[in-house]
Structure 1
Amino acid sequence: MTLQATDAPALIDFYVDTFGFVVAARYGDGDTVHHAQLNWPDGAGGIMLGTHRPGAAWSRQPGTAGAYVVTTDPDTLYERVLQHGADVVRPLAKTDYGAREFAVRDPEGNLWSFGDHAGEPTPT
């Protein structure tokens, strides 16, 4: 997943403090982030993000993304996001397919859903 942000340094801090992402790389000058890599500590995967640059070849409007992140412990993560005052848009609950999930909106407006449903295996 790649994101662009109006205030990339603040968004990186939010993802690290509130969600628990780990900064693997961050390049830029001052408040401009040219590229950052944040890894998800609960398994494979992560996100790339940087400062929004209107008119660039790879430009998207900040705050329009949505993502689902698999976590082995949604209850503990939910408590963490509550402690950090995240904007919860769907409280932690069990789904009809047996997962425990919740959703939040980040400071830029992106929607994040976290849960323990890793998906179904690929049919053979």
Structure 2
Amino acid sequence: MRTVYALTRYQDCQAGLDFLQAAFGFTVHEVAKNDEGVVHHAELRVGDDMIMVGLGKPGGPGIYVAVDDPDAHLARARSAGATITMDLVDQPYGSREYGCADPQGNLWFFGTYRP
């Protein structure tokens, strides 16, 4: 059972969900809408893990997600409109990783390092 979940916020949660699925391959687990039909909370599957998405101001330190093929992942993210903030780099601790920002300004990092 998990006790820690990553959380990111979007001013437009539906647009955030659409981007996260297209750019990073995340899948929707659950979506909650308010009385007006606006998404205010969602849970996305990332392999065996989950990221929560909430309505609010984007920003913060960022989220790191381990992936098997960062080169292919970067190509997918770039084609979906991610702004690359750190090109692929081989880190001295053995990870190959990159960083990007989504269209609403949240920072994401992807690499092969698995703590």
Q: Normalising by the residue count of structure 2, what TM-score does the alignment of the two structures yield? A: 0.85
Match of 1:56 in 2: none
Query: What are the ranges of 5 or more consecutive residues in structure 2 without an aligned counterpart?
Result: 1-5
Structure 1: segments with no counterpart, 5+ residues: 53-60, 120-124
1:10-21 → structure 2 map (5 Å cutoff): 10-21=15-26
The structure whose Rg is larger is 1
Counterpart AA for 1:34: H
1:63 and 2:59 matched: yes
Distance between the aligned counterparts of 2:106 and 2:11, measured in 1? 12
**In structure 2, what residue type is equivalent to 1:10?**
A
Normalising by structure 1, what TM-score? 0.80
Q: Which amino acid aligns with 2:39?
A: V
**Within the alignment, does 1:7 sit opposite 2:12 as a pair?**
yes
Q: Which residue of 2 aligns with 1:55?
A: none
Match of 2:52 in 1: 48
Matched residue SS, 1:101: strand
Larger RCO: 1 or 2 (CA < 8 Å, sep 6+): 2
Name the Cα RMSD after superposition. Answer: 1.5
Q: 1:8/1:31 Cα in 2 relative to 1: closer, same or farther (>3 Å)?
A: farther
| Superposed structure 1 runs of 4+ greater than 6 Å apart | none
Residue matched to 2:30: 25
Identity of aligned residues (%): 38
Among 84, 101, 110, the residue aligned to 2:80: 84
